[in-house]
Amino acid sequence: MRSIADKKSQAEFLANLREKDAYETEPLRFRFADDFLLRRSDGWFYLREFLVVCVGSVRARLGRFDGAAWTDRAYRMMRLMEAAGARIRIEGAEHMIRQQAPTVYVANHMSMVETMVLPGGLIQPFHPVAVVVKKSLLTYPVFGAIMRAVQPIAVARLNPREDLKQVLEQGSACLRAGRSVLVFPQSTRRVCFRPAEFNSLGVKLAQRNGASLLPVAVRSDFQETGHRWRDVGPIARGKPILFRFGEPIPPETDPKHAHRQTIEFIAGSLREWDVPVPGTFRTGGPARG
């Protein structure tokens, strides 16, 4: 497998992303037995992924996991997925890269892929970012140490009012300190996108702080949800991994309109990518059913 672990490759990737505002996986050649195993064995893929996380976890426990380490681990993840057969495509990166002030990013949530890659590999290299995550992720074996090290905004997802209060308070503190915030407004990871399940938390946070809102559409069902262990599912090698950044929505935009714009951008992108989007979004709120 071709590695992008070295600093030169990471710098080249970021320079190309900044210059071209996009990225697409180039065809990879089989060079080692590792390449063959990654294309054939889900178990080998997860073993290699576990090793990437383990190194990050050790660094985190030693107090040596900073933004650069987060980016390094995320890039290793990306290239591991590419070696296993994923075609990664990033579009609209200029909307994210050219942001001059802390921003609230709002994305749909499909798998564990974007939990690591979107903030650590795509946003963090250009803008410091905090991620809103489930509190339980902080206690995960191995991976939890990484999550704690990147100083996320953790919510229990038991009481929506408490979660809203915590995100608004901690998110506002992050924005004031110069860190952007990434929010996944869906209550759970799901392949199909249901507008009714996409809350307006990101809009509220952005408008409270006079920050721009930037929608991000994600397709990451390459790594499917597992039946026994939710985070360890089949690898769908024929499916791409897609990220599309939308145009920032100014803070003076009417909140309902901003929420509608966000949903329409994500839903439109997912429909284009052949992802199920049941229901529609109308003025005033998401449709029922």
**pLDDT tier at 224, thresholds 50, 70, 90:** confident
More confidently predicted of 75 and 191? 75
Within a domain: residue 132? Answer: yes
At 88, which helix (H) or strand (E)? strand 88-91
Over residues 238-266, the pLDDT tens digits come to 899 999 999 999 999 999 999 999 999 99
Within a domain: residue 75? Answer: no
Within a domain: residue 263? Answer: yes
Within a domain: residue 165? Answer: yes
Rg (CA), the chain: 18
Return d(Cα 129, Cα 135) in angstroms, integer.
17
Within a domain: residue 174? Answer: yes
**Number of domains, the chain:** 1
| Whole-number pLDDT of residue 32 | 62
| Whole-number pLDDT of residue 94 | 96
Q: Are 275 and 191 in contact (CB under 8 A)?
A: yes
Within a domain: residue 71? Answer: no
Beta-bridge partners for 181: 104, 130
**pLDDT tier at 206, thresholds 50, 70, 90:** very high
Domain extent at residue 189: 86-286
Reference 114, options 78, 156, 68, 165; nearest CA is: 78
Over residues 208-220, the pLDDT tens digits come to 999 999 999 999 9
Determine the number of helices (DSSP H) and then strands (DSSP E) in the chain. Answer: 10, 10
Percent above pLDDT 90 for the chain:
61
**pLDDT tier at 28, thresholds 50, 70, 90:** low
What is this structure's pTM? 0.89
Percent above pLDDT 70 for the chain:
88
Classify each residue of 148-173 as buried b or exposed e, where b means 16 or more C-beta atoms within 10 Å of its C-beta.
bbbebbbbeeeeeeebbebbbebbee
| Whole-number pLDDT of residue 289 | 26
At residue 104, what is the residue type? Answer: V
| Whole-number pLDDT of residue 286 | 35
Within a domain: residue 217? Answer: yes
Within a domain: residue 250? Answer: yes
What DSSP string describes 24-77? EPPPPPP-SHHHHHHHH-HHHHHHHHHHHHHHHHHHHHTT---HHHHHHHHHHH
| Whole-number pLDDT of residue 41 | 87
Over residues 87-107, the pLDDT tens digits come to 999 999 999 999 999 999 999
| Whole-number pLDDT of residue 223 | 86
| Whole-number pLDDT of residue 34 | 67
Return d(Cα 84, Cα 91) in angstroms, integer.
22
Angle between helices 7-20 and 67-83 (to 10 degrees): 80
Counting every residue, how long is the chain?
289
**Dihedral sign for Cα atoms in the order 129, 45, 266, 168:** negative
